[in-house]
Structure 1
Amino acid sequence: MIRDLTDSEARRALPAKWGMADPDVIPAWVAEMDYALAPPISEALLDAVRAGRTGYPAFDGGGPLGEAYAAFADRQFGHQVDPDQVLPVVDVTAGVRVALDVLSSPGPMVMPVPAYHPQLRIAEITGRQRADLVLDPDAQHAGLDLDRLDRLFADGARTLLLTQPHNPWGRAFTRAELEGVRDVVVRHRARVISDEIHAPLVLPGAEQVPYLSIEGTADHAVALVAASKAFNIAGLKCAQIVTADPATRDRLLDIPYARNDSWSSLGVTASVAAYTHGDNWLAALITRLDQQRTLLAQLLAEHLPEARMRPLEATYLAWIDLRAYGYDDPAAALLDKGRVWVNPGHDYHPGLPGHIRLNIATSPARLTEIVTRMARTLPA
């Protein structure tokens, strides 16, 4: 069910990932997949365009989008969501900003680092300081330091921006880890904004635990979800804020329209189709990504044995430590000499040398060529 796009198809379909790359460059950077759209989404979009459904969306929560997401969350995660507690927003990062503006008290925002780089400045944008909860790049386990989190809240931080599954660590946090987060947050009467955009992309061997499914989180947390990463529809602009507390939902509904940038009618159409009819395609995608994960590990062992890859439990974004090869910025060398475009680690962890983020959501042949080019570029 997963059809690889040809190079020419990818350049037409993905104007950022492929269109911004020179013809001789293999792009493995931005979080988009080199796969054709799931047929139920394509069909729903074609029907919507034929019907002229290109006007403003309905400006309310719940409705068909809320019902579709609630059913999807039940099937995929065993999480019971009230459809009326699902509110549309233009994208996840904008939703994080809205939640911070409307729900969070003044005070620093805790950001686990490395972090999704567009969100590194979101505290600043909302008039807050950022308090970094840093992952030791040499630690064996990419876990959250709850003692450090406790100290940051004790020193005045008021909100934790939790990305789970994590980008770029590739972690799917366990229920016990999330219960530990909850206990620290409750102790300090703080708040959690849980970015769960990659939730459908947990790979075999791990489990997605929605933060709001943890007992005792409803009154201090919201989640940001979307079909965009799992179904490759980011350009259609439709994410969702999920609440579990009517008072929280009502505060978000009461904000002026100008604070919640308008989402897209076609984004709603595509999201409803993905959530309602996309399960089989998603299952095939997970199988493909699991195969790509295994292939990447084999390729690195063969061609770049000094590379250290974080265990990839979720997402299609591998976090790779290449410090052993002597480059502070291996991404620059790989683009310049190897003609492979990956993300530099310092975009996610300012000041961290020698790391890259590599997108594996492509064909096995392209992934093999990517690692082969990497090995030719980096010294033995």
Structure 2
Amino acid sequence: MTRTTAQQMRAWTGPAILTYGFRPFFFGGAVWAALAMVLWVPMLSGHILLPTAFDPVSWHAHEFLFGYLGAVVAGFLLTAVPNWTGRLPIVGWRLGGLAALWLAGRFAVAVSAGLPAGLVALIDLSFPLVLAAAIGREIVAGKNWRNLIVLGMLAVFAAANALFHMEAARGGYAAQGTGLRLGVGAGIMMIAVIGGRIVPSFTRNWLVKRGGGRMPVPPMQRFDRLALLVLLAALLLWVALPDSPATGVALGMAGALHVVRLARWAGHRTFAEPLLTVLHVGYAFLPLGALALGSEILAPGPVGMVAAQHLWMGGAIGLMTLAVMARATLGHTGKTLTAGPGTVAIFAALVIAVFARVAAGVLPGEAALLYAISGLFWIGAFATFGLVYGRLLLRLPAAKRF
């Protein structure tokens, strides 16, 4: 007999965290983002040393990009794909198995100094490969061909992780290698494609309820496709030729186009609801990062390439994922889609963390202090998310328990 999503979830009698994909991966990703930074700050100052084969900066970069972002992408896709395809979600021990693969990757990388590099890569890559196979099966079975692009971006993200492992195993500085740039590029394209759908749509829905006024331009118009193509070209150049003037020009063009794209979404009308405003702010870090990186390539300035890159990694990826996790958790647990004081504090802390990290590039004499401030606010943002949203992610509402 065919069952609905709700019936399948009610039939599961195990831990509540395994009733839907967003639960284990949003909670696990947030906890790991905070814990990894708790480890990273004393690693940076030389007070602790993890038994990892990666150099400290490469471990930090890998665990944010492929560890944290990998978890959030999994939580989002495992929740969104059933809505896209009309098929049942992965729940129960199958979902638990995916979460266990992700955890195994975090442990293997952390203790990789005592393991063969190939084994570490195999353990870490098993999660994105199994996830891609599961998502691909659902998209094909549901004949949801328009979202094959999402599967393609996930495949590129997994390939970037494999390349990162290869570069680290060869003794290279993987934190500034091709694998990292490819992974960041895949993450930025996910934000551009998926964010380009949900930000104007959510904004329109909210504004319609408030009545009248200027509305966002509908998503994926001709201009949007042009902006995405230019961004894709700029990212490919950045991955392959990060120091080329052509890359700087392309990133500048992409940044300018995405400033215009964002301006078409009526974000200035959303200030009454921070849960919606933060989506616009998070997306704004995409063109800001592109413009900063392009400027640094064409005319190296006081910010520095690494600090500019954090506008993408900490700003665009960090803030957009927090915003999506908060909204999806509230929506799928039956709560009102509004940001309370705790949620606003989470978003504010993350923004402070990003700008403190960028300021460290501008003020090298104060870098140690600014790194510490950035790390503390980053920990505060994700630890607070775990506290505020953990009660929603780890247990079912009373009405769902029967």
- TM surpasses 0.5: no
TM-score scaled by length of structure 2: 0.23
Higher strand share: 1
Structure number with the bigger relative contact order (C-alpha 8 A, sep ≥ 6) is 1
TM-score scaled by length of structure 1: 0.24
Higher helix share: 2
